[in-house]
Structure 1
Amino acid sequence: MYAHPHNALGQYRNTNAWGATSGDRIQLILHMMDGVLDRIALARGHMRRKEVSAKGEAIGRAIRLIDGLRAALDKQQGGGLADDLEQLYDYMARRLAEANLRNDEKSLDEVARLMDELRDGWGQLALAGDPVAAAGTTPLRA
């Protein structure tokens, strides 16, 4: 259903190179975040069915998508917010790796909740057409 994470990141970079609107960039980021949430849901199902290989593959894809989100951060434009997001993305990736090793559904739930909050912020940007997205940063809820 979703593009390979490296393809999505490549599309994001190409969009920046060709000067696409911030709305297009927001949609690409939303697409990647949706992919993370979908992969976590798949991993949860595989975990419950004790499908070890499929669980690991789904979690691995979620981590690669998070890595793509991290790579898309613009530290020059985003400043401290981009640094904070980089740390949050790193935390999410580590929690997913732990969930994979320990069959820990609570860790999956935690990362899904965090990603869902970030995604909601990006969704608000999409509705508002906020230029913050052009900086490659993600809004956080207050």
Structure 2
Amino acid sequence: MSYGLKRYKTSQANTASREDLLILLYEGAIRFLERAIKEKEAKNLSEHKMFLRRGLAIVAELQATLDFQKGGDLAIQLFELYGYMLDRLTEANIKQDMEQIRIVIKNLSTLLEGWRDAVRQVQGQAAAAAAPAPTLAGPPTRRLAGGSY
């Protein structure tokens, strides 16, 4: 990755909202795991392991940062799902089974789409709440040159 692109991505992560950061994490995990499969297929084992570890680290971080006080049952379900994904990735690493990685990618992709929809809905509600209230009056009238309406 070029220096400029790395700085841009760091800046993007540092200035992102919590919702956008969550989406970036999902996208990153999916990208790393897809790359792990490609590197394995190309017989680049050290690269494969590096990308697998990166994807695994993101899933572990998603699990570790769950807020059970605010998230309630959803947080518990996500904790269990992330645990399942971590088990699949560990098995993929031990048995060199790429199908396990594909299962995790599919699960992450499903969750990513759900989070994207939720973020769009919340942002849409926030935009609607911030929009000025419509008025019943018509458009403002303007004086024409010469003083008539």
TM-score between both structures, scaled by the size of structure 2: 0.70
Deviations 1:66-117 (A, max 9, x none): 1111122110011121011111111111111111222211111100000001
Q: How far 1:55 sits from its partner (Å)?
A: 0.9
Matched, 1:118 2:93: no
Q: 2:35 corresponds to which residue? A: 42
Q: 1:26 corresponds to which residue? A: 19
Structure having the higher Rg: 2
Q: 1:104 corresponds to which residue? A: 97
Equivalent-residue separation in structure 2 for 1:120 and 1:73 (angstroms): 19
Q: Is the contact between residue 59 and residue 97 of structure 1 (CA under 8 Å) also seen in structure 2?
A: no
* Percent of pairs with identical residues: 29
Equivalent-residue separation in structure 1 for 2:119 and 2:73 (angstroms): 22
Aligned alpha-carbon RMSD (Å): 2.3
Q: Which structure's relative contact order is higher, taking Cα pairs within 8 Å and 6+ residues apart?
A: 1
Equivalent-residue separation in structure 2 for 1:116 and 1:101 (angstroms): 23
Letter in 2 for 1:90: G
Q: 2:73 corresponds to which residue? A: 80
Structure 1: where are the runs of 5+ without partners? 16-22, 131-142
Q: Secondary structure at the match of 1:129?
A: helix
Equivalent-residue separation in structure 1 for 2:84 and 2:35 (angstroms): 20
Matched, 1:69 2:42: no
Letter in 1 for 2:30: L
Question: Which 4+ runs in 1 deviate beyond 2 A?
Answer: none
TM-score between both structures, scaled by the size of structure 1: 0.73
Q: 2:126 corresponds to which residue? A: none
